[in-house]
Amino acid sequence: MTAAPALAAALAAAALLLPLPWLAIAPNRLLPGEAVTAVSALGWLVLPPCLLFGVAALRRVPPLAAAAAAMAAVLLLLVLTGLAASQRLQDLSPAARAGLGIGLWLALVSGLLLAALRLADATLRDRLLLAFVMLATLAAAAAAGAFDGLSLAVEYRNRAEAVKAALLRHLALAASALILALVVAAPLAWAGFRRPRLAGPVGAAFAGMQVVPGLALFALLIPLLSALLHALPVLREFGLAAIGAAPAVIATAAYLTLPLWRGLSAGLAAADPAAVAAAQAIGMGEARITREVRLPLALPVFAAGLRVALVQAIGLVTLGGLVGAGGLGALVFEGLAQFATDLMLLGAIPIVLLALVADALARMAETRLAVPA
């Protein structure tokens, strides 16, 4: 894209966003706010981010520099909006809030999407470096109080300890579900590899589980676990309960078994027959061949299934908030019950970030484990 059309396209996109609500000034956290546009909130300061978006869209600009320009525009919009929110709240009551409007959300998402598109062919090192710089700048701006006027920051200050505890709980639930699913999927994948006739029924059972609505499965486990505990009260001594972590972990694990089982099965079947034959020729037993030949060759394929399961675990365990399991899902559903958008976002944003980080780390591991052709 040449300079003039790219800049014109960026400015046209900005012009479409500017009339949308940028901030919502409300008397408290529950009542709807009065919409404030970007021009009203930022004035002429809205132009520099628009120009940066135009630079990021230029094809002649190197991809890394273009992505940096897009991220700089996103950061600048956030900082300027935070400062504008603080200024507008100065003469209002302490309970007043400045929420983020749809226009700002669309601008932020568009900027990050533009940066991601320009980084499509960048090296992993460049991506990590740019992400680190952006996060460090964002943290520095937050520490300096640039976002203190935004309602999301106010909500976080009021619930900082609860958010940290929910984050740790969420990670623990997701990890527990992943381990449980792996314990179930691994022996069944091995059994299906050794006896191919078992693979069909096992795969059908796991695939059938995927069509069960998540909320229904979480709710169904409560009476089932209650009946089990009534029949075997000794299970209570191991911390098993009808509500809480148990149904959340079991239900989430049920959905994770399919990608893990498929990854393990495909990995075991992907071993080069020539490598297996060579191992047999030098006198290796089946156990040693599995340990030293099949499993190392299966790791790259299994890593792909593990990446899918990892992201699924982080997302699905959110429903655990409905069955008393806690985690970030509890914040999301508490916000829904109170019609408090900021509280919902306080739970939802970390879930999205966790999923993105988990996907990136798993993708890195998958790349490192890949066997060169």
Residues 130 and 246 in one domain: no
pLDDT score, position 296 = 80
Residue type, 248: A
Residues 298 and 172 in one domain: yes
Residue 19 phi, psi (nearest 5)? -75, -15
Residue type, 139: A
| The domain boundary residue, chosen from 111, 133, 154 | 154
Instruction: List the one residue out of 310, 350, 316 whose CA is nearest residue 218.
Output: 316
Decide: helix, strand or coil at residue 36: strand
Give the residue-averaged pLDDT of 335-359: 90
pLDDT score, position 371 = 52
pLDDT score, position 79 = 93
Rounded Cα–Cα distance for residues 233 and 226 (Å): 10
The rounded mean pLDDT for the chain is 85
Rounded Cα–Cα distance for residues 237 and 231 (Å): 14
pLDDT score, position 373 = 43
Rounded Cα–Cα distance for residues 85 and 147 (Å): 8
Give the residue-averaged pLDDT of 193-216: 86
Residues 67 and 146 in one domain: yes
Give the residue-averaged pLDDT of 228-240: 81
User: Helices (DSSP H) in 159-195: which residue ranges?
Assistant: 160-194
Share of the chain above pLDDT 90, in %: 26
Residues 104 and 190 in one domain: no
The pLDDT tens digits for 153-186 are 888 988 999 999 999 999 999 999 999 999 999 9
Residues 318 and 337 in one domain: yes
Residues 225 and 358 in one domain: yes
pLDDT score, position 5 = 53
Residues 105 and 208 in one domain: no
Residues 34 and 90 in one domain: yes
Q: What is the strand order of the sheet 34-37 is part of?
A: 34-37, 21-26, 97-100
| The domain boundary residue, chosen from 132, 154, 176 | 154
| Range of the structural domain that residue 190 is part of | 160-369
Half-sphere exposure (CA, 13 Å, Cβ side) for 4?
0
pLDDT band at 14 (very low <50, low <70, confident <90, very high): low
pLDDT score, position 260 = 93
The pLDDT tens digits for 280-303 are 778 777 777 777 777 887 788 888
pLDDT band at 332 (very low <50, low <70, confident <90, very high): very high
Residues 88 and 171 in one domain: no
Residue 46: is its pLDDT beyond 50? Answer: yes
Q: Are 340 and 31 in contact (CB under 8 A)?
A: no
The pLDDT tens digits for 258-285 are 999 999 888 888 777 777 778 777 877 7
pLDDT band at 315 (very low <50, low <70, confident <90, very high): very high
208-228 in b/e form (b: 16+ CB < 10 A) is eeeeeebeebbeebbeebeee
Tokens of 334: 């508490």
pLDDT band at 68 (very low <50, low <70, confident <90, very high): very high
For the chain, how many structural domains are there in total?
A: 2
Residues 319 and 257 in one domain: yes
| The domain boundary residue, chosen from 154, 170, 186 | 154
Alpha carbon 16 to its chain's center: 29
CATH, residue 363: 1.10.3720.10
Residues 38 and 102 in one domain: yes
pLDDT score, position 1 = 47
Q: Are 304 and 370 in contact (CB under 8 A)?
A: no
Tokens of 46: 């809205």
Residue 372: is its pLDDT beyond 60? Answer: no
Residues 140 and 19 in one domain: yes
Give the residue-averaged pLDDT of 81-105: 87
